[in-house]
Amino acid sequence: MSQKQIIAVIDYGSGNIRSVVKALEHVITEHSIDFEVIITNKPDDIARADRLILPGQGAFADCMNNLKATKGMIEALEQAVLVNKTPFLGICVGMQLLATKGLEHGEHLGLNWIEGEVVPLDPEDKSLKIPHMGWNLVNYKDSPVSKIGNDGKNNSYFYFVHSFMFKCKENEHVLATCNYGGTVVAIVAKDNIIGVQFHPEKSQEAGLELLHNFLLWRD
């Protein structure tokens, strides 16, 4: 009997952990995938995980400070993701933390795994409300990893809640966009790293499909 692979959802006090876990458990059961979901703030768990997910809600600086305050977590993540190439998914602010810096309530350094800045949403249509909240169509670029999002099918609607957006330094790291009074980055990708601005755990079938694809993904 093969040993189950471990998907670690990182608990650093800044994410909707239970919703993500429930969505993952649904996918694992529905597709009979040999995975175990753990919630953790322990570096040892990060080191042994086969997949890593970093949720995030709230302000960029608060989330980054919480991550830094979790003893040994950033060092463990850097070893696992950047050195060992463990597949990684950042969700919402967990995606934004991949940037070089965030400009919410001042300037704050991020993980700098994907070069860029997190800047305020500024729609050309000033009648559009901030935050960007609700369903929006995500359009994929032609990319080897685009199957993470839509598995080669038509582009899908996902659920967004955010007031800031990721502005990548290199366009090659933009995997998908949506339109909200202008182009908004919806998915970033680099090597074994994927970040989504929307909430897959709130995005019904499209979100469950994305999580399923992530569990099967090989960079």
Residues annotated as part of the active site? 92, 199, 201
Q: How far apart are CA 74 and CA 79, in angstroms?
A: 9
Contacts 24+ apart (CB under 8 A), 178-184: 178/136, 178/137, 178/138, 178/139, 179/136, 179/137, 179/139, 180/121, 180/123, 180/128, 180/132, 180/136, 181/122, 181/123, 181/124, 181/125, 181/126, 181/128, 182/122, 182/123, 182/124, 184/121, 184/132
User: Starting at the edge strand that comes first in sequence, how are the strands of the sheet with 164-168 ordered?
Assistant: 108-109, 101-102, 116-120, 164-168
Angle subtended at Cα 60 by Cα 9 and Cα 133, rounded to the nearest 5 degrees: 85
CA-to-CA dists, residue 215 to 6, 24, 31, 34, angstroms = 10, 9, 11, 10
